Amino acid sequence: MSDRSSVCVLIPTLNEAATIGSVIEGFQTEGFESILVIDGGSEDDTQSIAEDLGATVIEQSGSGKGAAVVEAVEHIDTRHVLMIDGDGTYLPAQADRLLEPLVDGPADHVIGDRFADMEPDAMSRLNRFGNRQINRLFRLIHKHELHDILSGYRAFTTDSFERLNLSSTGFGIEAEMTGEALRHGQRIEEVPITYKRRPDMSDTKLHPVRDGAVILSTIYLIARMNNPLAFFGSVGILGIITGVLIGLYVGYRWFFVGISHEVLAVVSSFFIIFGFLLVMFGVLSDMIVSLHKEQRQRIDRLENLLDREE
């Protein structure tokens, strides 16, 4: 069992009265004393239940899970943070699985992989499909083998979290944390966990279509920083393909029908030139990112050396 005193359990909540009590008690049974609930202004008894059990409760100043997590970490002064949803879908008894790679091993950020052991109806078909596609896209962009980047059960060092540039206020936060951690060269590990379904009397806060779109646009924006070639290149190649298709049509009409389409020919050239420019821009940005990464690794090494000497 890892040392509990270096860990703060962080629980973002919004109307989770049905489950918050058992989540907190679960962690107390496991020996955790520092439990911080960051509440989004629940209209049920979430806050009072948590307070009665001895947890620290803060009401967030803005709104959204992402904003809540960022605000909460500012209040934390332990070395490690264990983050979990308040909806009883994750098991406090599996805390050590997430903490061990952090406390004993080399990891900076540990993600609980829900797909390792998921109750059959824990995720709707739409959510499961969306999750899988999002993970696939993320792997494609980052070339890093992760399978559940949107998991809400994770552990990280407070230090490593503070280095991330996070701007997602809502459910984009998990994707952004993962992408940012990779961009900063942090060591991410995935461990298998159990994912249970929400109890009947509690309501999800996730809107699959709206939040799915937010998450996808977050991933695309992170790609701009981590893999600009994919970001600009994909749009560029789309432009080139569009231009070539229009060009083929113009050529066909000219050769076989004898009609010339000057305006379309100009549009086609525009798309092709614009596409090439974007791809070139992507290649150049990619070089800048690589150089920047090298410099940052050097700075990180120096920082670590200085830390050790102090």
Ligand X SMILES: Nc1nc2c(ncn2[C@@H]2O[C@H](COP(=O)(O)OP(=O)(O)OP(=O)(O)O)[C@@H](O)[C@H]2O)c(=O)[nH]1
Q: Least CB distance from residue 83 to Mg ion, whole Å?
A: 12
Q: Which stretch binds ligand X (CB under 6 A): 81-89, 136-144, 185-193, 277-285?
A: 81-89
Among ligand X, Mg ion, none, the one that 218 touches (CB under a kind-dependent 5 to 8 A) is none
Residue pair 146/138 in contact (Cβ under 8 Å)? The answer is yes
Of the candidates 14, 141, 215, 219, which one interacts with ligand X according to CB under 6 A?
A: 14
Q: Least CB distance from residue 75 to Mg ion, whole Å?
A: 23
Of the candidates 34, 47, 89, 131, which one interacts with ligand X according to CB under 6 A?
A: 89
The first and second tokens of residue 38, run together, are 């960051």
Task: Tell me the residue nearest to ligand X as measured from the CB.
Answer: 40
Strands (E), the chain: 7-13, 35-39, 56-59, 80-83, 109-118, 154-157, 188-195
Tell me whether residue 152 or residue 243 sits nearer to ligand X (CB atom). Answer: 152
x/- track of binding to ligand X for residues 15-54 (CB under 6 A): -x---------------------xxx--------------
Spatial distance between the Cα atoms of 251 and 260, rounded to a whole number of angstroms: 8
Residue pair 11/84 in contact (Cβ under 8 Å)? The answer is yes
Q: Least CB distance from residue 198 to ligand X, whole Å?
A: 5
3 state DSSP class of 84: coil
Rule CB under 5 A: which residues touch Mg ion?
85, 87, 89
Spatial distance between the Cα atoms of 13 and 199, rounded to a whole number of angstroms: 15
Question: Is 255 exposed, middle or buried (CB count within 10 Å of its CB: 0-12, 13-18, 19+)?
Answer: exposed
SS3 content of the chain, % helix, strand, coil (to 5): 55, 15, 30
Residue with tokens 């699959």: 208
Question: Is 276 exposed, middle or buried (CB count within 10 Å of its CB: 0-12, 13-18, 19+)?
Answer: middle
Tell me whether residue 133 or residue 204 sits nearer to ligand X (CB atom). Answer: 204
Of the candidates 7, 12, 94, 188, which one interacts with ligand X according to CB under 6 A?
A: 12
Among ligand X, Mg ion, none, the one that 148 touches (CB under a kind-dependent 5 to 8 A) is none
Looking at residue 155, the DSSP 8-state letter turns out to be E
x/- track of binding to ligand X for residues 126-165 (CB under 6 A): --------------------------x-------------
Residues lying near ligand X in the complex (CB under 6 A) are found at: 12-14, 16, 38-40, 60, 63-65, 68, 85-87, 89, 152, 198, 204-206
